[in-house]
């Protein structure tokens, strides 16, 4: 009789545990359901072009402008992972043209996104942006790109950017520095021909001022103005040694610039002992 009572109690205990586990599992699933339900869905489509309205065009210099596009609602997000890009489709006299761009905004900037574009004299997509007026629409699809980032995945980033190659670097830097749980340090070397060619001057200065111990910028100019106190010429191995984290398993060097610069930087990094897994080219 005592044995039957013990067996009955054991069965009741096991059933109770089973119900508890089911309840915990259901609660967890419901929590994630609510989290995903409340998280805005990104507006981009990786397979199909979607049109977004240009609402503000701000000329920053003779050949650089900022384009602000509205998203469908004030709480919509673009849905672009950190460091990835999207394809933009435009037209010129030769027909359709498609080129990748990285916004300078993040998904924390809800309701809109911005592109900073340098317009080249012979650039086909540059022609399209020069012709765009507020109220026009631009077709885009994405996200695209191999870069995947998780907060804290490295101790420090070294960034080698040239010209418009600053845009993915700026997006990654913003995402890191504006996340209070991410303590990654960033050292950026940014190369241009003239002082006027430097994009996002004010935004980079603000980050450097707000995070002086975690974000450092070293600008290099091929044709510097009088009194320039930054780097001069092309980015050298010595500059990389002085301004980027040394080779280690917990650092990564990101590079993005014109093809000749990317090739030169790859050679410098190899000579300095940075293994392939320590590097990434956008």
Number of H helices, E strands in the chain: 6, 12
Given the residues 105, 112, 256, 268, select the one marked as catalytic.
Answer: 256
147 token code pair: 């870069």
Could you confirm whether 256 is annotated as catalytic?
yes
Strands (E), the chain: 50-59, 64-70, 85-92, 95-101, 112-118, 137-144, 156-162, 185-192, 215-221, 231-232, 251-256, 279-281
CA distance 120 to 193: 14
Could you confirm whether 102 is annotated as catalytic?
yes
Given the residues 88, 101, 243, 244, select the one marked as catalytic.
Answer: 101
Could you confirm whether 244 is annotated as catalytic?
no
Count the alpha carbons within 13 Å of 200 in the hemisphere toward its beta carbon.
Answer: 29
Could you confirm whether 274 is annotated as catalytic?
no
CA distance 42 to 142: 10
CA distance 15 to 91: 67
Residues annotated as part of the active site: 85, 101-102, 256
């Amino acid at each position: 009789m005592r044995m039957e009572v013990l067996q009955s109690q054991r069965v009741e205990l096991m059933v109770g545990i089973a119900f508890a586990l089911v309840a915990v599992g259901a609660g967890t699933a419901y929590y994630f359901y609510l989290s995903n339900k409340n998280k805005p869905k990104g507006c981009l489509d990786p397979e199909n072009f979607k049109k977004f309205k240009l609402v503000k065009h701000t000329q920053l210099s003779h050949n650089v402008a900022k384009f602000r596009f509205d998203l469908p609602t004030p709480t919509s997000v673009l849905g672009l992972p950190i460091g990835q890009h999207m394809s933009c489709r435009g037209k010129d006299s030769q027909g359709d043209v498609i080129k990748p761009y990285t916004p300078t905004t993040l998904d924390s900037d809800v309701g809109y996104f911005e592109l900073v574009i340098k317009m080249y004299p012979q650039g086909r997509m540059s022609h399209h942006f020069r012709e765009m007026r507020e109220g026009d629409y631009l077709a885009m699809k994405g996200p695209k790109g191999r870069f995947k980032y998780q907060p804290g995945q490295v101790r420090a980033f070294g960034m080698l950017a040239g010209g418009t190659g600053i845009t993915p670097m700026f997006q990654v830097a913003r995402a890191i520095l504006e996340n209070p749980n991410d303590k990654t340090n960033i050292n950026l070397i940014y190369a241009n021909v003239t002082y006027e060619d430097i994009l996002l001057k004010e935004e980079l200065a603000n980050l450097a001022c707000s995070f002086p111990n975690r974000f450092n910028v070293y600008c290099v100019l091929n044709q510097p103005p009088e009194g320039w106190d930054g780097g001069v010429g092309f980015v050298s191995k010595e500059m990389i040694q002085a301004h980027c984290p040394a080779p280690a398993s917990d650092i990564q060097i990101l590079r993005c610039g014109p093809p000749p610069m990317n090739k030169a930087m790859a050679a410098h990094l190899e000579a300095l002992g940075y293994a392939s897994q320590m590097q990434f080219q956008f």
